[in-house]
Structure 1
Amino acid sequence: MATAAQLTTASSIISPSNSFERLRASRVKLTSFAPLRQGAPFRSLIVKAATVVAPKYSSIKPLGDRVLVKIKIAEEKSVGGILLPMTAQTKPQGGEVVAVGEGKTIEKNKVDISVKTGAQVVYSKYAGTEVEFNGSNHLILKEDDIVGILETDDVKDLKPLNDRVLIKVAEVEEKTAGGLLLTGASKEKPSIGTVIAVGPGPLDEEGNRKPLSVTPGNTVLFSKYAGNDFKGSDGADYIALRASDVMAVLS
């Protein structure tokens, strides 16, 4: 029996003939699907990428330490002006804060949310719940899932929040210790870099900030698969991760 499957997202339909090479888990969020009846033909599988808020609702008020972020639209062109296919478009990891909750209580201390409406923020890759509201995609996420505030268009100016650290990744080694040239496939992704900026630290049980153990200028060794990767306007690679993913300070 011939079968066909279609994955429907908020912006595209991916058919079986398309290449899945660049499709990552972050591109499609399974929020709901109806189970197939036994014996029924498998005609299509519809996947919703976002919960749609009906037009009759005029506002969304986040609760507790949650934040509502309007997602930045994905780039449709490369730096050189070339149109990008859907599979090559980078999923945005940032947007504008449009509403914030009332904060949270630690012990008996009330802690307000540190980001304000209008701020441009960067958030963790797989954080939050996506909702479609007023014709735009938004994300409801906890404040702790916000990596930092981006005050300019350049990631090296990112202001980390809480226990986050911004690191400029060391350049890939072109040669081995013996002087042999490395090919692209054999070049190992560096896990060493220089700390550019640090957050104010996590909150302790009394609601006070606990300073981080690394400072700007430190050369550090960090976990390979942690954090959010970015490309700076200077062409360098940057990574924003939690301080707990920094394993050592090199000197």
Structure 2
Amino acid sequence: MAAAYMTTTAAATSSRVFLPPFEGLRPTTIKVSSVSFRRGRALTIGSTRRLLVKAATSVAPKYTTLKPLGDRVLVKISAAEEKTSGGILLPSTAQSKPQGGEVVAVGEGRTVGQQKVDVSVKTGTQVVYSKYAGTEVEFNGSNHLLLKEDDIIGILETDDVKDLKPLNDRVLIKITEAEETTAGGLLLTQSSKEKPSTGTVIAVGPGPLGEDGSRKELTVSAGNTVLYSKFAGNDFKGSDGSEYIVLRASDIMAVIA
């Protein structure tokens, strides 16, 4: 049996919060080097020692199999980039959280209406998923993500997002570049450029599942120029610097021409 705990030292006073133990799980700890309180000032955290945060659920080594249930998928998370494209070493705090990985196990699927629907991705497939989706699990010495199939954005077998194959009701759009000047010819700074909400559809998913278990074809197709909701979806940058967004078809408001 293992337990998770948090220990904080503040002005020579130590406190411990003890959480109930769970079979098969190793401790999850949050250690803060030091905390000090000063009259009239904000709470400060000392930096003389390292700050360790370990949020993933850890599965004990005695367990060698993890089988997802239903329409859930187990993805082995790709390692975060440790260097920039220019070769500059990134500190751990600056490394971007990975949004992709390899499918290592899938559930038995789900029932929609009277029809049994299998999970649409197979083991060994490289996928991209929504930010903050699923539950992180440390298993067999590697970081994994246990998530629902619907949290998977698409399949990406290359290193360029333009090759993404969207799943379900998702759509891949190449974002229209922001205007560099105003209508009067004034040059816009980067901070004053309005985020575009139009773009060209690059690829579409097979459509959502209907109540009878069949796919419903999307009303937009590759090549359409569309207007979509601001702040929807997940943003990506292509290898050529172009910006893309993957969103649900329901976030597309209109086709423009």
* TM-score of the alignment, normalized to the shorter chain, above 0.5: yes
Alignment-derived partner of residue 231 in structure 1? 237
SS of residue in 1 equivalent to 2:104: strand
Larger radius of gyration: 2
Alignment-derived partner of residue 108 in structure 1? 114
* Structure 1 CA distance for aligned equivalents of residues 146 and 102 of structure 2: 12
Question: What amino acid maps onto 2:209 in structure 1?
Answer: L
Answer yes or no: is the 8 Å Cα contact 2:175–2:243 preserved in 1: yes
More strand by share: 2
Matching of residues 132-143 of structure 1 within 5 Å? 132-143=138-149
Unpaired stretches in structure 1, ≥5 consecutive residues? 5-9, 18-41
Q: Deviations over 1:59-115 (max 9, x none)?
A: 100000000000011001000110112232111111000000000001110001110
Alignment-derived partner of residue 87 in structure 1? 93
Alignment-derived partner of residue 186 in structure 2? 180
Identify which of 71, 77, 81 aligns with 1:65. 71
What RMSD over aligned residues (CA atoms) do the two structures have, in Å? 2.5
Q: Deviations over 1:165-216 (max 9, x none)?
A: 0000111110011111101110111111100000000000000000111100
**Cα 1:81–1:179 shift into 2, 3 Å:** same
Unpaired stretches in structure 2, ≥5 consecutive residues? 1-9, 14-27, 36-44
TM (norm. structure 2) is 0.80
Deviates more, 1:219-228 or 1:56-65: 219-228
* Structure 1 CA distance for aligned equivalents of residues 197 and 12 of structure 2: 44
Displacement over 6 Å in runs of 4+: 12-17
**Cα 1:237–1:13 shift into 2, 3 Å:** farther
Aligned residue pairs total 220
* Structure 2 CA distance for aligned equivalents of residues 46 and 79 of structure 1: 28
SS of residue in 2 equivalent to 1:156: helix
* Structure 2 CA distance for aligned equivalents of residues 145 and 162 of structure 1: 10
Matching of residues 116-135 of structure 1 within 5 Å? 116-135=122-141
* Structure 2 CA distance for aligned equivalents of residues 155 and 233 of structure 1: 8
> Are residues 1:156 and 2:165 paired?
no
Identify which of 146, 163, 175 aligns with 1:169. 175
Deviates more, 1:160-169 or 1:224-233: 224-233
